[in-house]
Amino acid sequence: MRIPWRAREYERTCGDCGYVWLVPRWAVHPPMQGLPIKGAGYGVREVVVHNAELAEEASAFRVCAKCGSVHYTQRRVWS
């Protein structure tokens, strides 16, 4: 279900070269898991691996594809 007041994407503009790219909301705020509850069926290692994979996927959106800079501004895109 779409929530109207939540942005679905963000637009980032490189501060060095001016390149603009779109970033999905999940990459801006990755849904990291907390530590597992005892007896939940999975361990700390699995949570750490899952969070590391999410962070790695999201890190691809943190650098400018044109110049490789990490200096950017960000604004919400309402759709």
**pLDDT tens over the chain, length 79 residues:** 556 666 689 999 999 999 999 999 888 877 777 766 665 566 778 888 888 998 999 999 999 999 999 999 999 987 6
pLDDT at 26: 86
- Nearest partner of 27 among 66, 56, 47, 70, judged by Cα: 56
Contacts of 45 (CB under 8 A, 6+ apart): none
Contacts of 10 (CB under 8 A, 6+ apart): 22, 23, 24, 25, 28, 74, 75, 76, 77
Query: What pTM, to 2 d.p., does this model score?
Result: 0.69
pLDDT at 40: 56
